[in-house]
Amino acid sequence: MVKSNHTQIRCQQRGISKEQINLIIEHGQKGRRPGGAFEYRLLKKDKDRLISTLKKQIHMVERSVGKGVLISGDRETVITTYHLTRR
């Protein structure tokens, strides 16, 4: 996404990073504004939902360590799953 010169100046003045902009657009609430523009806002409920989702992902990562998945050469079929052995 292209950032206008105005946006670049305001982001620098307000300490808003490119990563924050992307996060707000991806996870925030979208609303119409005059002139055909859209506003994105990250509200507390959005933050709470996102944190909950990330905690679930972290838990899944922790549970997945030491496990393996064997897939076919065409990457279409899961052949088997297993626990890795310690070495």
Note down the domain range covering 77: 5-83
Q: How far is residue 40 from each of residues 10, 29, 44, 68, 82, measured CA to CA in Å?
A: 16, 5, 13, 40, 43
One pLDDT digit (tens) per residue for the chain, 87 residues: 899 999 999 999 999 999 999 999 999 999 999 999 999 999 999 999 999 999 999 999 999 999 999 999 999 999 999 999 876
CB-based contacts of 43: which residues, under 8 Å, 6+ apart? Answer: 28, 29
What is the C-alpha R_g of the chain?
A: 21
pLDDT (0 to 100) of residue 1: 83
Question: For 32-43, what is the HEC assignment?
Answer: EEHHHEEEEECC
Two structure tokens written together for 45: 């409920």
Count up the domains in the chain and report the number. 1
Instruction: Note the pLDDT of residue 36.
Output: 94
